Structure formats: C-alpha cells, structure tokens
Chains A and B, each alone.
Chain A
Amino acid sequence: MRFVAIFEAVTKNWLRSRTGLFFSIMFPIMMLFIFGSIFGGTNYVPTMTAAFIMTNGIIGLTSTNTEFKRRGIIRRLSITPLTKADWIVGCVLSQTLLNLVLTGIMITIGWVAFSVRVIPDPLTILMIFLGSVMFSGIGMALSGSIKDVEAASAIGNVISYPMMFLSGVFVPLSIMPSTLQSISNFIPLTYFSDGLKAAIITKSTGTILFDMGIVAALAVAFIAIGVLLTRWKEK
C-alpha cells in the first residue's frame, strides 16, 4: 500500500505549488472561456476537458516527474523498499484526482457561463478516471525514459499539440481533409474526447462503452510500458 503514501505526498506537494495550479487548472479555464465565447460552449466543455487532461498527463506530469528525477527525489525513494509500480500508481492516481477536480470546474463553468447543463453520471466519472490514467501513464512512461527536464517537456509538447488538433478538440473533424480524419482514428485523445462528449452531451451508451473499452486497454498498456521503461538502477 505504499502507493497511498506516494499519492498523498505528491498531491499535497502539487496543491501547494502555484505554478502547478495555474497550468493545470487556470489555463484550461481560460481556454474554455476563449473558445466557448467564440464558438459556443456545448462541445468545448467535454473536448477541452479531455484535451487538458491529456496535457496535464503528457506535459505536466512528465515535467514534474523529470524534475523530481533531476533533484534526486526519485533516487532517494528508490533506495527504500518502494517498487516502481507503487511509485507510478501513486503519481497516476494523484494526477487523476486533480483531473476530476478540473472536470468539475469545467462543467461548472459550462453551466454558469455557457448554459451547458451537465450532471456528471458514474459513466462520465469512470471515463475521466480511465482517460486520466491513460495520459498520466504516457507521462510516466516518457519521464521514466527521459533524463533531461527540457527535453521531456519539449517531447511532451511535440506529442500533445498535434494530437489536440488531429482529434477534433479545437476544430471539428468533419471540416478536415479525409487523410487527417483517418489519422485521427489512431490517436488516443480522439477516443477519450469522443467518449467524454458522448458521456456528457449525447448520452449514447454504445459510443461511450466502445470508447471506454479502447481507453481502458490503452491505460493498462501505458502503465505497463511506464513500469518497463522506468530505470531506477543506473549503469
């Protein structure tokens, strides 16, 4: 149960960090306001939430984690009986809690500012949970294999931004060329964003379950890859 102690510690550490709070919560809120005001909020509440859960995992978690590594914090913990899996699970769950809070805030803003009335049901919460685990798993896998803080956040950006555009978060897929539309089938964010839209807006159970299945499978895969790629013993 060491992951519980890790979960508590990294969550507290994050909650007390202002830059962390700004990028993970305030920035998504700002973006929702901007895009929602221009194009209307209905679709942007779920898609923006999905997109920022992705960046929180792939960019945010990757850079916090490489920073932990640079400062020797992971090293210090690795000398204790802590296992890699406990460490990764603790960090992923902490990020997931943060993302649930973020979703709550995004939904509230959707309600207040754009009259998108959504009451999150258990499927929505499960979807958020699985999506968070998937993207945090990618973040842990990246930071497990990259040493340098700058390189980690650069790679995080390189992965995230194309995904954001190619999965129809900012621009609807229907207006994109067909090649780009077919690429979007291979992007994890597409399934998460679609599934979340279905859970929050359209309530189509078939779509939700299909997307959820894919996201769940990817979540397990990325966590496993994270455990495999993370090296604690140095050469």
Chain B
Amino acid sequence: MLELEVQDLVKQYADVKAVDGISFSVNEGEVFAFLGPNGAGKTTTVEILECLRSLTKGSVFVCGYNISKDKDVEEVKKNIGVLPQDFNALDKLTVKENIELIADMYDKHLKVGDVIKLLNLEDKANAKFENLSGGLKQRVGIAAALVSDPKLVFLDEPTTGLDPRARRDVWDVLISLKKLGKTVFLTTHYMEEAQVLADRIAIMNKGKIVAIGSPQELIGKYGGLKILIIRKADKTLADKLEDKFENVTITPNGDVHIKIENTEELYRIMSFLTEMKAERDIEIQTPTLEDVFLKITGSKISEEGETK
C-alpha cells in the first residue's frame, strides 16, 4: 500500500518555484529520505505534506487522504506524527508534561510512559524542557511525534545541529522505528544519514527531484567506478602500472589510483602486484552518495547544508 502519493507538486512563491513539479510515492513500512542542500525545497515539500502549507499545483495523498480537501485534512492529522524543523516545546513544562500535552490532542494515543521508555528518556522525564541539551530536545520531539501511534512519521532534519554522538543516538531511535513497522519520511542534508537509514532516497536540488532509488541503486547508477589505491608506490612500480593498465593516475604524494571497470580487471591488477612482489598498503574505495550528488549536481553539500 502507498502511504504517500505525490503527483506534479508545485509550490510557487512570488517569483521563485520552491518546488518544481515533483512526483514520488512512499510504500508502507518504508524509510524514505529527501536528501539535498538547504533551499532545495525539502522542508517546503514536507510542510505541504503535513498540511502546514498550501500547495500551488498538483495532487497529494497522505495515508490515502487528499490533502486538498478540508475534511480529509482532519483524517491526515490523526494518522501522521511530525517532528518539525527546529522543534520546540513549552520551556517550563517537563519532558513528560510536554509529551502528555501532545498525547491529549488525540482521541487515541499510546501510554506516555511507554513512549518515554522507547526514547530512553526515563531519567529526564521530570526535567524541564528548557534545561535539556539539543539531542535530548530532539528525542522529546520524536517522542511527541510517536505518541499518537501514527502510521506515517515525518522527521524534518532530525539531526541538524547535533554533535556526532547525539546524532548516532537519534539514528538508533530511527532504526527502532523501522522495526516497529512505521513508515518514515525523513529530510536531511547529511549523506551518511540517508545512506545509513533510508530504504529509498530522493535527491532534491533546486526544487526538483534529480534522482530516486535505493542507496545501492543510486551509487550503482551514478557513483562511478571503484578505485584501487596503492599508497606511496615507488617510481618504478608506478610507471609499470601506468604502462600496463588504463585509467591510472598518480597523485602528487605518490599514491597510484586505478579505476576498476570490473572484477576481472581487479584480479589482473592484484596478480600483477603479487608478481611484482609489491608489498604495499592497498585500499579499494567504493563510491558513496557524495559521489552520486557530485555527479548529478556538480556540487557538494557542506556540513551546514550549503552547496559548495
């Protein structure tokens, strides 16, 4: 079953097309990620899907309901859980009180204590929200998104601004969501996050989806070749390798890079190296989503989410 179905979605502001005719769908139980730099249109799209923002054109079905109909919007709200970008709660209320407040908005909800346990927040249940670290605040936000036991969970940049350790903690939570059978829609500008968590990724750039598929598919299609690296090869070895194989480059610090077309070629290089008795530090570099993004858009995404 499809939890999300988006057809030709357009969001037009005065003179900018923030979202420029995108179409995609998300299956039940899938973790789907929108990956792209700041300003790509990820948050605008997600806010339209959450019924927080109006759309200019196109059709959107969330959990089978048409978000352009007011009656359906009420149903959508019952079925989704949301962690908005820059999540905040009432400062002077405790973690538990804040999650209870969200729970009370629904006719049916999970036990607040169970959700607190799921997010590992037991120690902090009675701490005031204002005294929490960024990572803990995000976990409260995820707890609030889950307390209504939604079918579909939206997480808008769940780890932006967190330190690596807090980021890993949030990832662990997201991995457990998948085990609970939730459908998750995630936006992120961290390549690694999308690669680790998502079943399928839509790469977004300048309002358009430029590629869509599983991490492996994307890497296979756009990531380019694997590269064999021989660290600090001496001149004789480097020259011989250059004579014998194609696609060889020698870096200024003396490393030899050989692009590998197929497994057969890899074996040929390896046996040549054995023949040469080249006892060298050897490494095979597989392409990542970063290479995919670079290949498709011609740019990289910085830690802060900007293109460079």
Physical interaction between A and B: yes
Q: Is B178 an interface residue (CB 8 A)?
A: no
Contacts of A2 in B (CB 8 A): 104-105
Q: Is B86 an interface residue (CB 8 A)?
A: yes
Assuming the A-B contacts A9-B97, A12-B97, A81-B106, are A73 and B52 also in contact, with contact meaning beta carbons closer than 8 angstroms in the complex? no
Minimum CB–CB distance from B79 to chain A (whole Å) comes to 10
Residues of B contacting A: mostly = loop
Assuming the A-B contacts A73-B89, A80-B148, A81-B106, are A233 and B53 also in contact, with contact meaning beta carbons closer than 8 angstroms in the complex? yes
Contacts of B92 in A (CB 8 A): 12-14, 16-17
Contacts of A234 in B (CB 8 A): 47, 52-54
Contact A79 B50 (CB under 8 A): yes
Contacts of B101 in A (CB 8 A): 5-6, 9
Q: Is B80 an interface residue (CB 8 A)?
A: yes
Contacts of B270 in A (CB 8 A): none
Contact A71 B88 (CB under 8 A): yes
Contact A78 B88 (CB under 8 A): no
Q: How far is the CA of A10 from the CA of B80 in the complex (A)?
A: 24
Nearest chain A residue, comparing its CB with the CB of B90: A13
Q: How far is the CA of A222 from the CA of B144 in the complex (A)?
A: 32
Q: How far is the CA of A5 from the CA of B90 in the complex (A)?
A: 13
Contacts of B144 in A (CB 8 A): 76
Q: Is B246 an interface residue (CB 8 A)?
A: no
Contacts of B90 in A (CB 8 A): 9-10, 13, 73
Nearest chain B residue, comparing its CB with the CB of A4: B104
Nearest chain B residue, comparing its CB with the CB of A81: B77
| Residue in B88, B97, B101 with the greatest tally of chain A CB atoms within 10 Å | B101
Contacts of B97 in A (CB 8 A): 9, 12
Q: Is A34 an interface residue (CB 8 A)?
A: no
Contact B88 A5 (CB under 8 A): no
Contact A79 B77 (CB under 8 A): yes
Q: Is A82 an interface residue (CB 8 A)?
A: yes
Minimum CB–CB distance from B277 to chain A (whole Å) comes to 64
| Residue in A12, A72, A75, A234 with the greatest tally of chain B CB atoms within 10 Å | A75
Contact B105 A77 (CB under 8 A): yes
Identify which of residues 33-87 in chain A touch chain B, using a CB-to-CB cut-off of 8 Å: 71-73, 75-82
Contact size class for A? Answer: 20 to 34
Contacts of B88 in A (CB 8 A): 71-73, 76
Contacts of B104 in A (CB 8 A): 2, 5
Contacts of B148 in A (CB 8 A): 80
Contact A79 B82 (CB under 8 A): yes
CB contact between A76 and one of B53, B82, B106, B107 (< 8 Å): that residue = B82
Contacts of B50 in A (CB 8 A): 79
Contact A72 B87 (CB under 8 A): yes
Contact B106 A80 (CB under 8 A): yes
Contacts of A78 in B (CB 8 A): 52
A172-214 toward B: CB 8 Å interface, digit per residue (1/0)? 0000000000000000000000000000000000000000000
Minimum CB–CB distance from A7 to chain B (whole Å) comes to 11
Minimum CB–CB distance from B75 to chain A (whole Å) comes to 10
Nearest chain B residue, comparing its CB with the CB of A6: B101
Minimum CB–CB distance from B42 to chain A (whole Å) comes to 16
Nearest chain A residue, comparing its CB with the CB of B88: A71
CB contact between B54 and one of A9, A12, A233 (< 8 Å): that residue = A233
Contact A80 B105 (CB under 8 A): yes
Q: How far is the CA of A71 from the CA of B89 in the complex (A)?
A: 8
Minimum CB–CB distance from A83 to chain B (whole Å) comes to 9
Minimum CB–CB distance from B15 to chain A (whole Å) comes to 14
Q: Is B191 an interface residue (CB 8 A)?
A: no
Identify which of residues 119-170 in chain B touch chain A, using a CB-to-CB cut-off of 8 Å: 128, 144, 148
Nearest chain B residue, comparing its CB with the CB of A77: B105
Contact B105 A75 (CB under 8 A): no
Contacts of B300 in A (CB 8 A): none
Q: How far is the CA of A12 from the CA of B100 in the complex (A)?
A: 13
Q: Is B102 an interface residue (CB 8 A)?
A: yes
Assuming the A-B contacts A73-B89, A233-B53, are A79 and B84 also in contact, with contact meaning beta carbons closer than 8 angstroms in the complex? yes
Nearest chain B residue, comparing its CB with the CB of A68: B90
Contact B54 A235 (CB under 8 A): yes
Q: How far is the CA of A79 from the CA of B144 in the complex (A)?
A: 11
Nearest chain A residue, comparing its CB with the CB of B89: A73
Q: Is B91 an interface residue (CB 8 A)?
A: yes
- In the complex, besides A73-B88, A73-B90, 4 extra interface pairs with C-beta distance below 8 angstroms are A9-B97, A76-B144, A77-B105, A79-B82
22 A-B pairs within 8 Å (CB atoms) are namely A5-B101, A5-B104, A5-B105, A9-B97, A9-B101, A13-B91, A13-B93, A14-B92, A17-B91, A72-B86, A73-B90, A75-B52, A79-B82, A79-B84, A80-B77, A80-B105, A80-B148, A81-B74, A82-B105, A233-B51, A233-B53, A234-B53
